[in-house]
Amino acid sequence: MSETKARKRRSPREARRLIVDAARRELLDGAGDLEMTEVAKRAGVSEGLAYYHFGNKAGLLNAVVKDFYERLDEAVLAIPYEGPSWRERERARTQEFVRLMYEDPVAPLVVDVVRADPGFASEERERRRRLNLLGARNIAEAQRAGEIDMSLDPALLVSMILGGVTAGINHALSARPPLPLAQAQQEIWSFVLRAAGLPPD
């Protein structure tokens, strides 16, 4: 009696993870482009399952972008840094943020290719809202500690800092060749100090 090999059953969460990971690899190999058929092959799932979870190619790209930023935010922006002063904590955070953006191979694709799609605007607005809330609390704590001028509006200041840092990293990564990591870290940190009204290092 012949036996039919049972197909491995995966949870929806595991299947989504496999597809997103495969899409990331496909983007890297395809210089920013992907096809659902090839992604499904890489993930070891049916093409129909990829469409079921993500709807279409744009939905899958959105998931890759969201996954990238979730990993980045969890590693750098949404966690407390240790140090005796706001200046030391935020120097470490800024330099680590720039380093991870440089070292994650998906980052240049997010900057140059994927994020150019206007379909990601609503996702980015929500992410910025969350980060602005966290950052405003951070600034307010530094003001209470006497490290940043109390006359500055925390929400406005963090919005300008995050916008400037993001624009700086985008430029540094998009330059051909990209700016050296150490130079990007130093210049972006110098901008943060100036925005906060603090003297240079």
The alpha helices in 117-153, defined as continuous H runs, are: 121-144
**Count of positions (residues) in the chain:** 201
pLDDT class of 83 with cuts at 50, 70, 90: very high
Structure tokens given for 155: 């929400």
- What CATH class is the domain 64-195? mainly alpha
**Predicted confidence band of residue 116 (pLDDT cuts 50, 70, 90):** low
Condensed to tens digits (0 to 9), the pLDDT of residues 173-196 reads: 888 898 999 999 999 999 999 999
Question: pTM of the prediction?
Answer: 0.78
Domains of the chain, by residue range, sit at 11-55, 64-195
As a whole number of angstroms, the distance between CA 57 and CA 51 comes to: 8
Q: Which fold has domain 11-55?
A: Arc Repressor Mutant, subunit A (1.10.10)
Please give the pLDDT value at position 2: 38
